């Protein structure tokens, strides 16, 4: 009985000892787990606080927020325009499927025929415009008789026989007939000469009208071409208005971070330099003056010097060396502020140049419109002169046909 009790007591003590050791082991590793968890959390917080991403987010200025907002708005507008273009292309493809090749061929033939007949239609309209109000043959004959009487009276040559006054010298019928015949021949020669002169003047007027129309067409084409160039300048300026502000990569080395920032600044300078060079070429096309060209040249020279300085290899080496000597971030923020000030100054200069360019282009457009108005007014004058010449020719032809009819009757 005593032996069984001893064995049971021994087993109970063994179970108790195992449970106590297990509880101690669980408590020990629980404390170790809490310790390492706390250490990991603290180290992650310290790493985040010491990272450049956290410092850049704390140093973000309202200007940077405004730039980000502009970038987002620009992306939204681009997406809207892309959706609109896709919808228009889809509509166009649907409309294109509705028409057969035969229908399109017929439309193309009609358009080509219209373009081919356009000069003939223009000439017919001009002829119709100048043939609306002509003098009748009777009016021309009355005018011619009046001028003949006046000329005969001035030269003291009697053209009409006055019945009330007797003739001093009687002429034979043969002499009288020869005199009338010679007078009619003289009139025929004068009228034919006048008709030839009028034809020459009409040809000259047609040539002047053709040259006037050609110059008018050239002015319109020039205005369309330069308006397209001005629109390209506007698009380039709108792209430059959004400055690409790139943050430094937080997971790279200091060398990679500085290299990324220097590359970003160089790209911005290259875009600004390209804009200045394009503006310079457009200024030559628009003939905007020496003062504006000198401003563009000065701005271009400044951009070239800045790009040369930022692109040099010593620039990156200097930044890395200063980073090694001065590990604090004060001078880093000063360098960033300097770059931002330079970008702001560059944008202000570009805005002033673009505003002056727009003003000069408006002046050029106004002058071009004045030239077009002068050409239209000159064409109206030429058309009026052409109408007068046509009326004169019609009157001369009517008088010539009348004289020939009288001669045939005789």
Residue 84 lies inside a defined structural domain of this protein: no
Count of domains forming the chain? 1
How many Å apart are CA 225 and CA 285, to the nearest integer? 10
Residue 341 lies inside a defined structural domain of this protein: yes
Residue 142 lies inside a defined structural domain of this protein: no
Residue 69 lies inside a defined structural domain of this protein: no
For residue 344, the enclosing domain spans 188-408
Tokens 């401003």, residue? 295
Contact status, residue 366 vs residue 154, Cβ threshold 8 Å:
no
How many Å apart are CA 343 and CA 67, to the nearest integer? 12
List, in order, residues 6 or more apart from 263 with CB less than 8 Å away: none
Residue 271 lies inside a defined structural domain of this protein: yes
Q: How far is CA 228 from each of CA 219, 232, 234, 239, 337, rounded to the nearest angstrom? A: 14, 6, 10, 17, 38
Whole-structure pTM value: 0.40
Residue 113 gets which letter from DSSP?
A: H
Residue 225 lies inside a defined structural domain of this protein: yes
Residue 180 lies inside a defined structural domain of this protein: no
List, in order, residues 6 or more apart from 252 with CB less than 8 Å away: 260
Residue 32 lies inside a defined structural domain of this protein: no
- State the burial class of residue 403 (Cβ atoms within 10 Å of its Cβ: 0-12, 13-18, 19+): middle
Helices 330-409, 290-311: axis angle to 10 degrees equals 150
Q: Which two tokens stand for residue 239?
A: 């792209």
For residue 302, what is the domain's CATH number? Answer: 1.10.287
List, in order, residues 6 or more apart from 322 with CB less than 8 Å away: 331
Contact status, residue 208 vs residue 410, Cβ threshold 8 Å:
no
Answer left, alpha or beta for residue 135, where phi above 0 means left and psi between -120 and 50 means alpha.
Answer: beta
How many Å apart are CA 125 and CA 146, to the nearest integer? 35
Q: Is the dihedral of CA 137, 139, 142, 147 positive or negative?
A: negative
| pLDDT (tens place) for every residue of the chain, 410 residues total | 444 457 778 888 888 888 888 888 888 888 878 887 888 888 887 777 777 666 666 556 677 778 888 889 899 998 998 899 888 888 888 877 776 655 666 666 777 777 788 877 777 777 766 555 555 566 667 777 777 776 666 554 444 444 444 444 444 455 555 666 667 677 777 777 777 777 778 788 778 878 877 887 877 777 777 777 777 777 777 776 655 444 555 545 656 666 677 777 777 777 777 777 777 776 666 666 667 767 777 777 777 777 777 766 666 667 666 666 666 666 666 777 777 777 777 777 777 777 777 777 777 777 777 777 787 777 778 777 778 877 777 777 777 777 777 665 55
Q: Where are the alpha helices (DSSP H) in 242-289?
A: 254-286
How many Å apart are CA 191 and CA 193, to the nearest integer? 5
């Amino acid at each position: 009985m005593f032996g069984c009790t001893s064995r049971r007591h021994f087993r109970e003590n063994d179970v108790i000892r195992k449970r106590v050791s297990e509880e101690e082991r669980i408590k020990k590793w629980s404390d170790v787990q809490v310790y390492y968890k706390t250490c990991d959390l603290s180290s992650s917080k310290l790493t985040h606080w010491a990272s450049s991403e956290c410092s850049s987010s704390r140093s973000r200025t309202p200007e940077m927020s405004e730039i980000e907002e502009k970038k987002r708005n620009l992306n939204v507008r681009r997406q809207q325009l892309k959706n609109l273009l896709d919808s228009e292309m889809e509509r166009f493809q649907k409309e294109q499927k509705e028409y057969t090749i035969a229908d399109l061929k017929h439309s193309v033939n009609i358009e080509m025929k219209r373009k081919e007949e356009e000069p003939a239609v223009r000439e017919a309209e001009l002829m119709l415009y100048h043939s609306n109000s002509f003098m009748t043959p009777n009016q021309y004959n009355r005018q011619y008789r009046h001028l003949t009487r006046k000329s005969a009276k001035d030269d003291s040559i009697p053209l009409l026989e006055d019945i009330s006054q007797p003739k001093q010298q009687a002429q034979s019928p043969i002499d009288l007939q020869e005199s009338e015949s010679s007078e009619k021949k003289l009139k025929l020669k004068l009228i034919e000469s006048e008709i030839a002169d009028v034809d020459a003047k009409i040809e000259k007027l047609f040539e002047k009208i053709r040259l006037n129309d050609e110059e008018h067409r050239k002015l319109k084409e020039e205005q369309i071409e330069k308006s397209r160039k001005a629109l390209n300048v506007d698009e380039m300026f709108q792209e430059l208005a959004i400055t690409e502000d790139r943050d430094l990569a937080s997971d790279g080395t200091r060398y990679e971070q500085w290299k990324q920032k220097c590359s970003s600044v160089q790209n911005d300078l290259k875009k600004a330099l390209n804009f200045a060079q394009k503006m310079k070429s457009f200024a030559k096309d628009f003939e905007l003056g020496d003062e504006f060209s000198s401003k563009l040249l000065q701005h271009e020279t400044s951009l070239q010097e800045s790009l040369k300085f930022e692109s040099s290899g010593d620039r990156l080496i200097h930044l890395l060396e200063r980073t090694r000597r001065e590990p604090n971030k004060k001078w880093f923020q000063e360098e960033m502020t300097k770059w931002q000030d330079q970008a702001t100054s560059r944008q202000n200069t570009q805005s002033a140049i673009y505003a002056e360019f727009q003003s000069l282009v408006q002046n050029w457009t106004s002058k071009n419109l004045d030239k077009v108005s002068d050409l239209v007014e000159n064409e109206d004058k030429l058309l009026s002169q052409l109408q007068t010449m046509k009326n004169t020719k019609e009157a001369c032809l009517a008088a010539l046909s009348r004289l020939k009819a009288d001669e045939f009757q005789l």
